[in-house]
Amino acid sequence: MSQTSQAAPVAVSSRRWWTLTVVALAQLMVVLDSTVVNIALPAAQADLQFSNGDRQWIVTAYSLAFGSLLLLGGRVSDLIGRKRTFIIGLIGFAAASALGGAADSFGMLVFARALQGAFGALLAPTALAVLTTTFTIPKERSRAFGIFGAIAGAGGAIGLLLGGFLTERFDWRWNLYINVFIAVIAVIGAVVFVVNAKREGPRPKLDVPGTILVSGALFSLVYGFSNAETDGWDSPLTWGFLAAAVVLLVAFVLWQRKAAHPLLPLAIILDRNRGAAYSSVLIAGAGMFGIFLFVTYYLQASLGYSPIQTGLSFLPMILMLVLAAQLGNNIFLPRFGPKVLVPIGMALGAIGMIYLTHLNTTSTYAADILPPLMILGFGMGTIMPASIQTATLGVDRRFAGVASAMVNTSQQVGGSIGTALLNTLAASAATGYVASHLPASAAVAADAAVASYATAYWWGAGFFAFGGILAVLLFRRKPVAAAPGTPAASGTAVSANAKAPASASDDLPEPVVAH
């Protein structure tokens, strides 16, 4: 054994599988919240009496706080400890959810949603960082990230199912109250099972200028795309915020190059494999938006499905996603690497989207909807776990939180881009269809809606196709082993059953069991 390996042992927690359960609960709570609340919006609007124009702020308040604070949340977990940050995030998210569930006015609900987003930005990257630093054995790491990636991809569909059930059977407020019960279980699990890793070296400092620049940039980016969705691309406010985002991002990059304690060391994102992984998560997030939003619209508005029926319709997609995640991370990713696996997932995503373009007002579930949803589920289950695992592979433990935050940031920005672009394109397609099929009637309006969804699916297919090409070009053919003192190389570097090359294994610390 080399001296390097004796210097910095990597702790392998004996409670790691319980830790995975706790982290999975937290991740599920954050991810499903984005769709579970959407299902409840009509009922909340009727109860609190706010306008259609105000309705979008229930969603936007969350996404603005979440998207703009993610990198800060990830860095905070690096600074004050992941276990402490994780528990604070859980308690804060639960409190904000309870406040939203008890809201008696529109303003109170918006404030609660913004508070949810802020604590979600603390919780989401910390959960992934805990997973990254807990699982250091390649075979186990692949299995754990397969489960985590499946939850990250399926959470939106699970939210539709849960939201439909809670709204129909109970009350819209239970879409928020449910988070309290999940958080209580997760907090107890975190106190008992999550290991508080010892800090190595002096306490790092927070990069305050970098934090302000990147938070402002992400806020401007998310708000710009959200404004494009509501006010259109010809709105000065849209382009003003998007331009501000570009300026602030450039300033952030320039500052990170000279900062003594950078918020996000540029080496993290400039690594070719990690950059490709972040890009894949962003593009898949943009394409995936079309699956949930427009298929939900189609099932409810065009085919007359109830919220519960709509949620159940996505169940086969979830099952295929989970199956693909386990097969990919445990069997295919160790053998072929992300350069093969991610493009295959992107290709499946494109095929599923193209399949959906053939839907019409007389389509049936078994023949026309089920097959593309299963294809899309398998595609997303192939993309997300492989990308998430690669994005966090080999990162210095001191920056595991902020590197994990980049995964969530990529997904959030991708969702914002997808929301704005696909909604705008779909609305234009609907208007054009009605104009070319005058006189207008109920049948023409129904066909126009379906035509607008098809336009969104074509663009979604284009996103996936572009993501596949980018993944082929960017991912390395041969994965790189982890650096000394970082979490051990995952199955992307070597086969789960094979021994690592001598040069790689000599550089890695010897695992020790932490009780």
**Residue 129 pLDDT:** 82
The reported pLDDT for the residue numbered 203 is: 67
Given this model, what pLDDT does residue 495 score? Answer: 32
Candidates 38, 168, 45; CA nearest to 106 is 45
3-class secondary-structure state, position 99: helix
Alpha helix (H) ranges present in 396-492?
A: 400-435, 442-474
Q: What is the pLDDT of residue 320?
A: 92
Token code pair at residue 242: 């998007």
Total-model pTM: 0.77
- The helix/strand/coil state of 441 is coil
Q: How far is the C-alpha of 330 from the C-alpha of 21, rounded, in Å?
A: 18
Q: What is the pLDDT of residue 53?
A: 62
Taking the CB of residue 478, how many other CB atoms lie within 10 A of it?
Answer: 7
So what's the pLDDT on residue 513?
33
Q: 15-196+263-506 has which fold?
A: Growth Hormone; Chain: A; (1.20.1250)
Per the DSSP assignment, residues forming a β-bridge with 513 are 12
Tens-digit pLDDT string for the chain (515 aa): 333 333 344 445 567 788 888 888 888 888 777 677 777 777 888 888 887 667 778 877 888 888 888 888 888 888 888 888 999 999 999 999 999 999 999 999 999 999 999 999 898 888 888 887 788 777 787 788 777 777 766 676 777 777 778 877 888 888 889 889 989 999 999 898 887 766 565 666 788 898 899 899 989 988 888 888 778 788 899 999 999 999 999 999 999 998 888 888 888 888 889 999 999 999 998 887 767 778 888 988 889 888 788 878 888 988 898 899 888 878 888 888 899 999 999 999 999 999 999 999 899 999 999 999 999 999 998 998 889 888 888 777 777 778 888 888 888 888 878 877 888 888 888 888 998 888 878 888 889 989 999 999 999 999 999 999 999 999 987 554 444 444 444 333 333 333 333 333 333 333 333 33
Residues 6+ apart with CB under 8 A from 300: 306, 307, 310
Q: Which residues pair with 10 in a beta bridge?
A: 511
Rg of the chain (C-alpha set): 22
- Segments making up each domain of the chain, as ranges: 15-196+263-506, 207-262
Helix residue ranges, H only, 135-207: 138-169, 174-193
